[in-house]
Amino acid sequence: MRLNIKELLRGDGVLPFSCELDPEGLDYPSILRYESPLRAQGSVRSSAGLITLTGEVRVSLRCLCDRCGREYERESAEALDTVLATEHQDEEDPDVFLVQDDCVDLDEIITTAFVLGLDSKTLCRPDCKGVCPRCGHNLNDGPCTCRPEADSPFAVLGQLLED
């Protein structure tokens, strides 16, 4: 969705927004499917010549754990916090978006925030134990039977080191 912010370009003010975005094309190996559209809401604020956009984007995901391969549900919520510029000052700054024809491209801002938030969050739980390299048993369900060395003091030491 493109949001017209012409009024804010003339002077101080606040313009709230809310929109939904079809996640079609946002394909990532860790995301099995989207259980909801990307839902964003927030506001654009103009104050003393600076135009900022703040808000939040939420989406329900069905994910695949990077470590144990188990499916899990995840509610993703990422903050939107960007500066809107009428001229491109720095191409490299990911937090600055350009206003074109009095409009901001909300879809681009929402997608960027969501994608940046994806990194390092593809575990079914923060302390996921993964799978046994020998039998493939999901160690979140408890230890498997193919670890006889667990009785030796060295294995205990190894576990302490792992932790």
37, 67, 81, 85: which one binds Zn ion (CB under 5 A): 67
Residues 6 or more apart in contact with residue 76 via CB below 8 angstroms: 58, 59, 60, 61, 114, 117, 118, 121
Residues 6 or more apart in contact with residue 14 via CB below 8 angstroms: 43, 44, 45, 46
Provide the 3-class DSSP secondary structure of residue 8: helix
Q: Least distance from C-beta 146 to Zn ion, angstroms?
A: 4
Report the residue number, 87 or 127, with the smaller CB distance to Zn ion: 127
65, 99, 104, 106: which one binds Zn ion (CB under 5 A): 65
Report the residue number, 29 or 49, with the smaller CB distance to Zn ion: 29
Cα 87–Cα 91–Cα 95 angle in degrees, nearest 5: 85
Does 128 help bind Zn ion (rule: CB under 5 A)? yes
90, 91, 101, 134: which one binds Zn ion (CB under 5 A): 134
Amino acid present at 83 = V
Binding mask 23-62 for Zn ion (x = CB under 5 A): ----------------------------------------
Does 132 help bind Zn ion (rule: CB under 5 A)? yes
Closest alpha carbon to 58 in 72, 42, 69, 71: 42
Number of residues that bind Zn ion (CB under 5 A): 11
Residue 112 token pair:
């960027």
Q: Least distance from C-beta 80 to Zn ion, angstroms?
A: 29
